């Protein structure tokens, strides 16, 4: 089904053409049919808020297409991006299972589709399907280790250049490498990158300039070429 923003609506989880090893993908036929019954599908524009930090957990959003950023803010207005979510991610799971307010704000970074599952329907779904409940437990464990790694990056890294190098390395591992280099579609602004590594936009702009001079990276329009992984690893290890 065609939808606004040129998207193809993925309305049936059982016949989804991009089923992969994500939390609610490749379920048994029975579980997949039940999932179809309890979820609702919607298309969201860039900038749409799926939920807001501090809001009571209404349910989870399964991101089927597009990207979303998860962020948290202080009373002084300082914002940190905790994660960049992609297709297959389930947003709001920690809060829904623990029945605590959403700990982050989820905002669409580009037009996309998300399936919403109300909290009570999801909890009953987990009670009725041990396979899915086990997957959720595994996902919550991964979320814990991801949060732990974020704390290490922000708290133990001694310099912005080390944090920046670590971020580039994390991006490079998600893309195929050619001749030791990786290409990444850069959709983040310098301000958003600063919110990921806990620094200022001006510092990020300076780091881009320094890393380009050292031939660690190259910008070709919106494509970021990560040219020297060993050098980046050396910065992190130092």
Structural domain boundaries in the chain: 4-156, 160-237
Residue segments in the chain with a per-residue pLDDT below the cut of 70: 1-7, 10-21, 153-157, 175-180, 238
Q: Are 25 and 11 in contact (CB under 8 A)?
A: no
pTM value > 0.85: no
Q: Using DSSP, state whether 81 is helix, strand or coil.
A: strand
Q: Are 25 and 19 in contact (CB under 8 A)?
A: yes
pLDDT for residue 151: 73
Q: Using DSSP, state whether 72 is helix, strand or coil.
A: strand
pLDDT for residue 28: 80
Neighbour tally for 216: CB within 10 Å: 21
Q: Are 27 and 90 in contact (CB under 8 A)?
A: no
- The CATH class of 160-237 is mainly alpha
pLDDT for residue 94: 94
DSSP 133-149: HHHHHHHHHHHHHHHHH
Residue 156: φ, ψ to 5°: -105, -20
CATH number of 4-156: 2.60.120.10
């Amino acid at each position: 089904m065609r939808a606004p923003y040129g998207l193809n609506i993925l309305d049936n989880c059982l016949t989804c053409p991009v089923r992969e090893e994500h939390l609610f993908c490749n379920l048994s036929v029975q579980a997949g049919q039940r999932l179809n019954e309890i979820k609702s599908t919607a298309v969201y524009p860039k900038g749409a808020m799926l939920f807001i930090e501090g809001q009571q957990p209404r349910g989870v959003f399964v991101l089927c297409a597009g990207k979303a950023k998860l962020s948290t803010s202080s009373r002084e207005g300082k914002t940190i991006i905790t994660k960049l979510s992609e297709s297959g991610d389930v947003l709001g799971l920690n809060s829904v299972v623990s029945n605590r307010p959403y700990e982050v704000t989820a905002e669409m970074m580009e037009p996309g589709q998300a399936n919403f599952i109300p909290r009570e329907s999801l909890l009953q779904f987990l009670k009725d399907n041990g396979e899915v409940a086990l997957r959720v437990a595994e996902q919550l464990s991964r979320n814990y280790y991801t949060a732990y790694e974020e704390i290490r990056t922000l708290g133990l890294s001694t310099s912005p250049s080390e944090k920046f190098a670590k971020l580039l390395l994390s991006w490079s591992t998600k893309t195929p490498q050619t001749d030791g280099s990786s290409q990444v579609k850069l959709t983040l602004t310098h301000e958003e990158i600063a919110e990921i590594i806990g620094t200022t936009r001006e510092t990020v702009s300076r780091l881009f300039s320094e890393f380009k001079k050292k031939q660690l990276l190259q910008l070709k329009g919106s494509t970021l070429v990560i040219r020297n992984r060993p050098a980046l690893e050396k910065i992190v290890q130092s």
